Amino acid sequence: LFSRAYSSFTNTGDTSQFENFKRAEAWWLDNFAFYQFLKDRFNDKPWYQWPRQYKLHDPKAMKELAGEPGIDQVKWLQFVFAGQWAALKAYCNKKDITLLGDMPFYISYDSVDVWANPQLFKIDKNGKIKGIAGVPPDYFSATGQLWGMPVYDWDRLKHSGYDWWFGRIRRNLQFFDLIRLDHFRAFSEYWEVPGGSKDAIGGSWEPAPGRDFFEKLKNDLGNLPFVAEDLGQIDEKVYQLRDAFNLPGMRVLQFAFDEAMPVSEHIPHNYPVNSFAYTGTHDNNTVRGWFDNDIDSKTKKRLRRYAGVKLGSDNINKVMTRMCYASVAKAAIVPLQDLLALDESARMNTPSSIEGNWLWMMQGEMLPGKLAKYLRNLTTLCNRQC
C-alpha cells in the first residue's frame, strides 16, 4: 500500500513540497533512508552484521545507494508523517492542548544514529560496544539494569559543540511543546558497564558534561522547555544541576508509602511546586495492579492512614488520582490505565525484562463518557485549569 501511495504521489506532477522537505531535513533524513533501505535489503539484521562496506558506512557505498528508487520512498514516508503530525499538533495547540514528549537518554545499538555516527559512542572500529549503558542495583532489579545501548563519548560530543544532541533536541521540539528528559541523572554522571558483561553490577559511575551542556543548550534554544526525570539513585549533584536551570522534577505516588512515608520526597505534602506529579510512570505497575499485587499489608496500612478512607481494588485509582491532582505540583499526570482502573495486565513496561512490554493499546470503546465529566470536575476542584 505504501508503494502504491508513493507511486500515485510521484505521478501527480507536483513534488515541490517533498523536495523542499528533503533539502531541509537532509542532515538526518539521508542517513535514515540509507539505514531503512539496508535493513530491508538484509532482512532486518542489525547494522553491525551487514557486509563491511555498509556496516562501516563507507562513503562510496553510500553514494552508490543514493540512486536506488527505494531511498526516496523512505524519505517520502517521513515527509507524510511530518505533515500529519504538524497538522495534529496545530489542532491540539489551537485547543490549548500542550504536547509533552518523552526523549530517551540513550540510543539503541541497532539504530541509524549509532551506525551513522559511531565516533560519538563508545564502540570500537568494528562496531562492537566497549561501554554499555545501564544502572546499578536498585528498586527494580537486584542485579541492576543492563540496557544494551552504547554509552556516549562525551569528550567527542563536547568537542563538536554537542551538535548531534542539539539537533536531536531541536527536531523533537518540532513535534512537542515540552520534553521529558529520561534518565536525567546521566547528564551529571552515568553508569558504564564494560562490553560483554552479563549484568550491570560491575559498572562504574563516569562524569558527564552537566552544566556545560545545558548552558550551551540554553544559548542555542533561548529557553529550556524540559522536565527532568530525576528518579532512581540520585545524588545532590543531580539536584543541583536540575535546579540550576529551573527544571521541574518528577514525583511518583507509588514510591511514597514505605517506612519513610512522612519525609518521603514522593508524598504529596513534600512536593515542591516546580514538579510534575504522577500516580505511576510507564515503568510502574498500574495503580490497581500495584495495590493488589505489589505492596504488603504494612504499606497498605500506611496508605489507608494517609488517604483517610477505606481502600480496595474498586477505588484505589480514584484515591490516588485525587492525591495527585490535589498536590501543589505544577502538573498532575495520570496514566490512562489508572483512570480506567485497569489491573496489572495493562502494565506498560517492566524494567529489566525484554518480553511482553509496550503491548497495551487504548481502544476508543474503553473511554466511558463520564470520564470527561469526572476529569473536568476534578480539574476545577483542584484549580488545575491553565
Of the candidates 102, 138, 182, 199, the residue annotated as catalytic is 182
Cell of residue 251, nine digits: 514525583
Q: Is the dihedral of CA 47, 53, 56, 61 positive or negative?
A: negative
For residue 275, the 8-state DSSP code is E
229 catalytic, yes or no?
Answer: yes
Kindly calculate the radius of gyration of the chain based on its CA atoms and give it in whole angstroms: 23
Which residue out of 72, 153, 192, 283 is catalytically annotated? 283
Neighbours of 191 (CB within 10 A): 25
Q: Is 212 a catalytic residue?
A: no
Cα separation of the two ends of the chain: 42
Contact assessment for residue 254 and residue 283, using Cβ atoms and an 8 Å cutoff = no
Catalytic residue flag (residue 68): no
Which residue among 72, 229, 265, 338 is the active-site one?
A: 229
> What's the grid cell of residue 43?
532482512
Q: List the beta bridge partners of residue 131.
A: 194
Quote the cell numbers at residue 1. 500500500
Angle at 153 between CA 149 and CA 156, to 5 degrees: 145
Residues recognised as catalytic: 182, 229, 283
